[in-house]
Structure 1
């Protein structure tokens, strides 16, 4: 019975189920077995009223645990007539609930069970989440795996060992346990207890972690170690109300100074400074001459870039529904492609209006220079050493999809930016106390 049920569980698809019906002397109980959203088999019991049959789902298996009871015999006869294809087992006193749980424990896992870990780029220190497989699809209870991880300083919750079910799409959290471990190398030994349940034999002292997945992910920094050399490119929209432009310039100054405090040595931090405004559109929808992006600095020392920043002022608004974001991106891509081996680069865009489309789309007039902001931004997104960050006047304004991509690593409202916190988020400022809540692997 147990082997047959385990085979049936192994053949279940997500969202499907079958029913094991127990015929006792005075009652009928249905045990429904289904595969949950994480690919883990689960069982639930549904007692009927007396010997009436509860609602059935999927294929049916019948266990007669009271073969000498007249009422059970009558119920079995009725079920055989209604479900002639259903297998029937007879065993006096059988504990069907325990039988179903044992069959679930015996079944192979349908999705690999993996440990949530982090990887640090050895050159830049930027952190990416990763999954380290503990048990592949098809593994069974009792299998043991070992791996080496590295831990760093944590908060009072300790290092979290989060296990997820993974089928190549969206990982589903199965369990999260934590322990206070010393920073350094640790040997991890895990045993598969049954589908959905992983037991950590080492390190010792793990206990259930109370944090949600969102809390755990929010505690993982984007950058762990100091980068050796950095290139911060500040692209600032200088068109609009004078007070608003002044706030943008002041914000850029604070971010540059925060990064400079992190890189005080000469030549470790270089600054690019670009100013862009709005296109001046004529009556026929064409841009006028003189519309261009101003590049005051490209690989300047922070002190020199700050002087150039002080010379920037306000220009006329121009076309109100879009700005020269696409022209600015073209200037950045052109210069980065000309560099032989650029350092870790962060493009910080500070402004508000969205880019012009390359062709008419009904929302805004096309870019007069026919620059395609999506293609240009896609070029930057493919560069492993380029980080995209943005500070926008009002993140909720129209054009949010474009700004979400411009601020892929971080997107903040202009009036509430903390330069040091923002620098830490984009990897230019390393906190004095670096904390990593999950294990790292090389």
Structure 2
């Protein structure tokens, strides 16, 4: 068996600090050693304790002075929206019509899809994201492109073909029967290949006919290890539209529930305007929310209520939501999440921020048995954060000795430059230099 080790300060979250308190929810080891064997975590502890136990000839990579954490997990991102990121001046529905759908139409080209997928994966890795739940377009070649790019790098990526058969332009419209056939073919070809997973992906209820949602629910029931990924209650005009289309439904969430799409494998992006009944129903189903503060602010959609989600015990992870989100960096996303919580009347502590970006995201995507922390036996996806990545960061952290302050400063001042190395299954797949 192949064994390697990495020396640095080590930090990971082991539980939700909102449930057990920060001190009991994390592990911090100054001058620690992370031992990796055949791509999995073998041991984690202090350098002094573990170094004498290493096999003869074990290579130790020295990252002293830096902080190693689990790789970030992005719970909601659109890979076809690369070339329209930072598009000016619209809210959700107009933004989709003006920018998103024309851009997604380009993915009818296999060459365009492959080029975008390669750039997208490299951008994720350079930002410290090692796992993600990814939206594609209605074109099956967009799904094939992202899976092929991720498989080549052994990444844990979950993705799916976007389902849209009504209320969208012809260039990005499919059919209920065609989307069901494509989903089945893609699941057979990619789900469980390497570290890839599939997500049944209705765009949002207004873009899907009853027939399409019915077939999606049926397919979800047939495959007990695929995810369901969609949007929910992002924008007030969107909610009004859903109310007009489904007057019989109790609320927006109930639309998905009626089609069998609310399960413990369902991930709903945004959820800004949920009421208590919807939070309660989501908790009963053990469904998850992707909290996307950057895009929620950029599109003027509203302020997600993290405290309310915690109150009902709903699983939550962080999502960048590129291209409505304006950065691939989950460090920058933590920055925006902190501000949204402040505007909601409570403070987001840095332990919770890092939980949402790592183990919380893993739990939201039903992959916490594989990634999210440094429990021995888990896959060795991790990143190296550089305290001196920028002159300002280095100056600010010179007199910082406590881990909570270090994490907070990293989440306020950090970005992709802070990620000096990214490792996937113990292999270095990105270096800043």
How does the TM-score come out when normalised to structure 1?
0.33
TM-score (normalised: structure 2) = 0.33
Structure ranking higher on relative contact order (CA contacts 8 Å, 6+ apart): 2
Say which structure is richer in strand: 1
- For the pair shown, the structure with the greater C-alpha radius of gyration is 1
